[in-house]
Amino acid sequence: MKKIYFVLLIVFSVLLSAQEPVDFNNPRKEEISGFKLYPNPAFNDVVYITTEKNARKEVTVYDVFGEIVLTDRILNSSLNISKLVPGVYVLQVTEENKTITRKLVVK
């Protein structure tokens, strides 16, 4: 019985030590600072993407199968999503060589 507990302790220790710590106060350097995506879930044909710099953004939207369903370059903060059917998507935004990925729900 002691051997089982010992093995479980070792397995748990290995799994716990393999976790990467997350510091929510300091975003990762490769992420875009001040990123906001709203409304999410989206009910209308437009979502807004704002960042600290609000520079030109390249936006790619993927469906659940990993297929690209929308690409756009936006200078302002509004992204037209009228061609998207209701569902869950992955939104990838690139601004000044920094990229961020978020989930987008369209209802």
* 8 A C-beta contact, residue 57 and residue 73: yes
pLDDT on residue 78: 96
* 8 A C-beta contact, residue 47 and residue 79: yes
Single out the residue of 59, 68, 67 nearest to residue 92, CA to CA: 59
What's the gap between Cα 94 and its chain centre? 12
User: Which stretches of the chain drop beneath a pLDDT of 70?
Assistant: 1-30
Domains along the sequence of the chain with CATH: 25-106 (2.60.40.3080)
pLDDT on residue 31: 82
pLDDT on residue 15: 47
Helix (H) and strand (E) counts for the chain?
1, 7
